[in-house]
Amino acid sequence: MSAPLLFALTPGEPAGIGPDLCLLLANQQQAQILIAIANAQMLRERATLLGLSCSIIEVTPAAWPTQPAAAGSLYVWDTPLSSPVRPGVLDKANAAYVLETLRRAGQGCLDRDFAGMITAPVHKGVINEAGITFSGHTEFLAELTATEQVVMMLATRGLRVALVTTHLPLKDVAGAITAQRLQRVSRILHADLRDKFGIARPRILVCGLNPHAGEGGHLGREEIEVIEPTLERLRDEGIDLIGPLPADTLFTPKHLDSCDAVLAMYHDQGLPVLKYKGFGAAVNVTLGLPIIRTSVDHGTALDLAGSGRIDTGSLKVALETAYEMADSQS
């Protein structure tokens, strides 16, 4: 049996439910060595508030643990806060702390200390209010790892959906579906399904942009002029792409049972289906990075912080996915 691997866990916004999720998760024995990169005292205070008996074990890069923590305990790489934390109350003074946890995790992955990183939600607004330009985890990690192009993919049991475009107004989507972008995204999706998920020959279903995939040009010409020619060129490279298919019939067992992932053209084309299928048990995976990064599929839920009324399902899936991805590379 191979030795357990180390993974970094970042609790995200300290006033949100991220710390709660990490503490609740610590009740369960982990298959791998999980290191929470967070403020140790803040976690102790949150555990007391939640009524949890969780042993916080401080560790450092000088002497990483060699075995997973016992159930009811959590390894923590202590990271200093600038201001005390009140659950549910944002404080821009702690914006730099949030980014430092991400930097430590990402750099640790680059340095091969960690086999991957799992992230709980951050609050973009309060980070920007602190005068720090921040678009999100994905952009931060892309810059840290000097990665030019990344791809957003959400997954739940039985379905993976990657996106050609992400957070764009609908009126801008058609213009953003270029041959260059479609090629880059398709190549990254194919490569990471193969290299990080261990799928020897990934089979990818591709959504059309327009209703009925353009219906032969009567409902739009993007399929004819951009999507179909690009997919044909990519097939010549050995990438198994089926489509473009009408999105309203693609997401049915007839098609999904024989594919490894779906490539949707825009955010609300693919993700509503995935979240309907696996809400609370889905994971966000950043493809294209030289490291493994998975994340929960929900926000900070400030109103629930410290209440104990939360579901750890998405974080569990994020952990399981990161473990499986690392195992497929070993």
Q: Is 267 annotated as a binding residue?
A: yes
Name 154's bridge partners. Answer: 161, 284
How far is the C-alpha of 149 from the C-alpha of 151, rounded, in Å? Answer: 7
> How far apart (Å, rounded) are the C-alpha atoms in residues 284 and 66?
28
> Does residue 280 come out as left (phi exceeding 0), alpha (psi in the -120 to 50 range) or beta?
left
Write the CA distances from 111 to 96, 104, 159, 196, 247, integer angstroms. 22, 10, 32, 18, 41
Side-chain half-sphere exposure of 263, counting CA atoms within 13 A: 31
Is 138 marked as binding a ligand? Answer: yes
In the chain, DSSP assigns E strands to 6-10, 33-38, 55-58, 73-78, 116-119, 151-156, 159-163, 203-207, 240-245, 261-264, 283-287, 293-296
Cβ–Cβ < 8 Å for 7, 323: yes
Q: Please tell me whether 293 is known to bind a ligand.
A: yes
CA neighbor of 243 nearest in space, from 218, 212, 267: 212
Q: Where would I find the beta strands (DSSP E) of 220-320? A: 240-245, 261-264, 283-287, 293-296
Question: Does 190 count as an annotated binding residue?
Answer: no
Residue 326: which of 62, 122, 27, 34 has the closest Cα? Answer: 34
Q: What b/e string do you get for 221-233 counting C-beta neighbours within 10 Å, with b at 16 or more?
A: ebbeebbbebbee
C-alpha span between 191 and 125 (Å, rounded): 33
> Torsion-angle region of residue 198: left (phi > 0), alpha (psi -120 to 50) or beta?
left
Is 212 one of the annotated binding-site residues? Answer: yes
Q: Is 233 annotated as a binding residue?
A: no
Annotated binding residues for substrate: 137-138, 275, 284, 293
Residue positions forming the annotated binding site? 137-138, 167, 212, 267, 275, 284, 293
Query: From the annotation, which residues make up the binding site for a divalent metal cation?
Result: 167, 212, 267
